[in-house]
Amino acid sequence: MDPTKYSANLLLQPVEWILSWWRKRPVAMFLDVSGRVAKMPDYKDLVAKVFGPAMGKVAAQSELFAERFKSETLKAAATATS
């Protein structure tokens, strides 16, 4: 697949198709699951116990990143539909 060809093809697609495509990407499923795991009450403690304190900090940051990414994605989708 040639990424330089995507833009012309995407411009011709309806907004609903683009949103559906965006949500079906494999990375979208990963972020959805990672968000759920990160919200588990003992997640940060478990990561720190298994991988050490430094990774516990990374786990806390990944939770914040997942929330910000979801928020920005929803804003972009809302902007695209209006």
Domain-embedded: residue 1: no
How many distinct structural domains can be found in the chain?
Answer: 1
Q: Encode pLDDT of 32-81 as tens digits.
A: 666 676 677 776 677 778 888 887 777 777 777 777 777 888 888 788 77
Is this prediction's pTM over 0.75? no
Residue 8 has pLDDT above 80, yes or no: no
pLDDT at 3: 62
């994605």: which residue's tokens? 73
**Which is more confidently placed, 10 or 75?**
75
CA nearest to 43, candidates 73, 29, 64, 28: 64
Domain-embedded: residue 9: no
Mean pLDDT for 9-24 is 82
Boundaries of domain holding 49: 15-81
User: Cα(first)–Cα(last) distance of the chain, in Å?
Assistant: 30
Domain-embedded: residue 8: no
Domain-embedded: residue 7: no
Domain-embedded: residue 2: no
